[in-house]
């Protein structure tokens, strides 16, 4: 697995904006980010959101992003548009749902898919929400802290039964 991009945002663009326009908080790309166990990513809008929050960190597939952009004939879009924290390549994120795994010495619990919403049609292009269904990314809890960096990060899995 390769960590291609890491993003944080200080505020929400879609949550709490139903019926109105999206917010204007940018996704800020960083080279590394501090993962704080049970709390989230330091500096991100979901840091200390609520105890046990299932989306303390979110992952998205670069391959899926590229496929969506190709299918919708979108050029110049940035993966930060999908508002996921970590964009990776070389892994099936849905296979990590229900398992704990380790990246760069940090342990995560894959909780559920990041289900896409209608805002994806505005963030990328009309039709993006439908193309993302079933592959909208991975929501995780952070089990141990550390610093996550762009670059190689082969996952070590601990499946739960």
* Helix or strand run (H / E) with residue 34: strand 32-36
Tens digits of residue pLDDT in 102-152: 999 999 999 999 999 888 898 899 999 999 999 999 999 999 999 999 998
Nearest alpha carbon to residue 91 among 108, 77, 71 = 108
DSSP state of 17: -
Q: Which residues are within 8 A (CB) of 51 and not within 5 positions of it... i.e. 6 or more apart?
A: 38
For residue 158, pLDDT beyond 70: no
What domains lie within the chain, and their CATH numbers? 2-9+27-151 (2.40.33.20)
Average pLDDT on 55-78 reads: 96
In this structure, what is the dihedral angle of CA atoms 150, 7, 115, 78, given to the nearest 10 degrees? -90
**pTM of the complete model:** 0.89
């Amino acid at each position: 697995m390769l960590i291609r991009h890491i993003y944080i945002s200080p505020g929400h663009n879609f949550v709490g904006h139903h019926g109105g326009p999206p917010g204007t908080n940018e996704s800020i790309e960083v080279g590394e980010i501090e993962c704080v166990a049970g709390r989230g990513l330091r500096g991100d809008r979901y840091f200390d959101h609520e105890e046990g929050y299932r989306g303390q960190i979110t992952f998205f597939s670069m391959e899926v992003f590229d496929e969506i952009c190709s299918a919708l004939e979108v050029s110049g879009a940035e993966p930060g548009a999908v508002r996921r924290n970590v964009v990776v390549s070389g892994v099936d994120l849905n296979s990590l749902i229900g398992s704990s795994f380790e990246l760069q010495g940090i342990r995560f619990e894959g909780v559920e898919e990041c289900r896409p919403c209608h805002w994806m049609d505005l963030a990328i292009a009309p039709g993006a929400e439908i193309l993302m269904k079933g592959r909208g990314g991975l929501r995780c809890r952070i089990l141990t802290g550390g610093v996550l960096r762009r670059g190689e990060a082969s996952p070590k899995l601990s499946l739960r039964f």
